Amino acid sequence: MHQRRREKILLIDDDPDFVEATRVVLESGGYQVLTAYDGKEGLERVRKDNPDLVILDIIMPEEDGFKVCEALKADPKLSEIPVIILTSLSERWSEVTLSVTEGLKLEAEDYIDKPVEPEELLRRVEARLRGTPGSPEDEGKEG
């Protein structure tokens, strides 16, 4: 078994059950998991803990995921941190239809719809930490 540095992942989501289940999946993959339950707390944790990757939901109290992503990408000290938006778009489509167009301009590195299989989440996280395409639609693209 190869030994890897324990990358820090910050998970920002307002659903405590989802946060706990996702924490277990990520920790099983060898990652150190930090958590925040709203966008404002998430931004504070990013600045304090300097994670290697951020996973965030879109619809949250205080600051939504798009605002968090925008703030990260606008800050030169934080803009290189990969961001994966993980959300239940299918369940919340009416709430986010207009925001999705906004979000595509924010340069999040990946978008994943909930629910996600643990293996798929780990594959996509690993790909983003390595800076390689991770989603099926990315395969075959150069870059």
* CA–CA distance, 142 with 137 (Å, rounded to integer): 12
Q: What is the pTM of this model?
A: 0.82
Mean pLDDT of 70-87: 94
Per DSSP, 137 falls in state G
Express each pLDDT in 55-77 by its tens digit.
Answer: 999 888 888 888 999 999 999 99
**Fold topology of 8-131:** Rossmann fold (3.40.50)
> Quick one: pLDDT at residue 4?
54
> Quick one: pLDDT at residue 58?
87
The domain locations on the chain are 8-131
Express each pLDDT in 91-123 by its tens digit.
Answer: 555 555 545 555 455 578 888 888 899 999 999
User: Residue 102: what residue type?
Assistant: E
Q: Cα dihedral sign for 6, 126, 20, 74?
A: positive
User: Is residue 142 pLDDT above 80, yes or no?
Assistant: no
> Quick one: pLDDT at residue 90?
56
Cis status, amide bond into 115, omega within 30 of 0: yes
Q: Which residue has 């924010």 as its token pair?
A: 106
